[in-house]
Amino acid sequence: MTVLHLADDGEAADLAAFLARLIHYDRSAAVRLQATGTTLAVFGRPPSFEVLAVRAVRLAKPYENGLDVQLDVTVSAGELLESVDESAATAAVPDAVTGPPWAGVLPPRGGWRQERGLPTPDELRATVAAAVAEFRSRTEELPPERRTRPELDRIGREIWSREVGDTGLPVRAVHAAQSLGFLRPAPKAPADEPLGLFSSGAWLRLRTPYGSIAVRRAGLGVLGVSVR
């Protein structure tokens, strides 16, 4: 069994929290793990948001049992969460599973350029709060006969597909960042990982000190994707 040695118990706790949030939205969630050296990238896709979430985890050392170059596998998020030992700062990689379609379509590794116009973290959190309040208000105003799943979905798509200013970033990406714990206030954000918006081809990536949200401007299912 492959054992991952995380940098410290804080990294283990953050990984566990991220996995738990993914499972909250999808009990059968899968995650794709990619690692080289002492950096592990954990990719997940909460279905409610139609985005890719990426959590970078620092490793104390490369892998055991001969995996000393690279790791790339799709596993059950629940089984990975069960294997996390926060006190020992370790996690055991579960057996591979047949990955969902999104696991074969990841953002490019390079070629990112920073985009301008991203609001402050407080403004982004306020945007999400206003969108949630609007959704609640509009759905509560519906008469009972119109409070159907298609109508609720229509209102949700209208609200969450709006762009944040002129950035091209949909509000649903910011909502995902907030819901997955990526937009929580930080007493002191790491100097090398400030909040930022980046683009590469058709992809946009909202980077925060706690993780990233990636989304395709034309949707995840169109041509021009990066398959890895």
**What's the pLDDT tens digit per position in 139-177?**
999 999 999 999 999 999 999 999 999 999 999 999 999
Q: Which of 125, 121, 112 is nearest to 175 (CA)?
A: 125
Q: Which pair of tokens denotes residue 30?
A: 């899968």
pLDDT band at 89 (very low <50, low <70, confident <90, very high): very high
In this predicted structure, the answer to whether residue 193 has a pLDDT above a threshold of 70 is: no
What pTM, to 2 d.p., does this model score? Answer: 0.86
In the chain, residues under CATH classification 3.10.150 are: 3-104
The reported pLDDT for the residue numbered 178 is: 94
pLDDT tens per residue across span 116-149: 999 999 999 999 999 999 999 999 999 999 999 9
In this predicted structure, the answer to whether residue 220 has a pLDDT above a threshold of 70 is: no
CATH match of 3-104 with 3.10.150: yes
Please state, in angstroms and rounded to a whole number, the distance separating the CA atoms of residues 17 and 36: 22
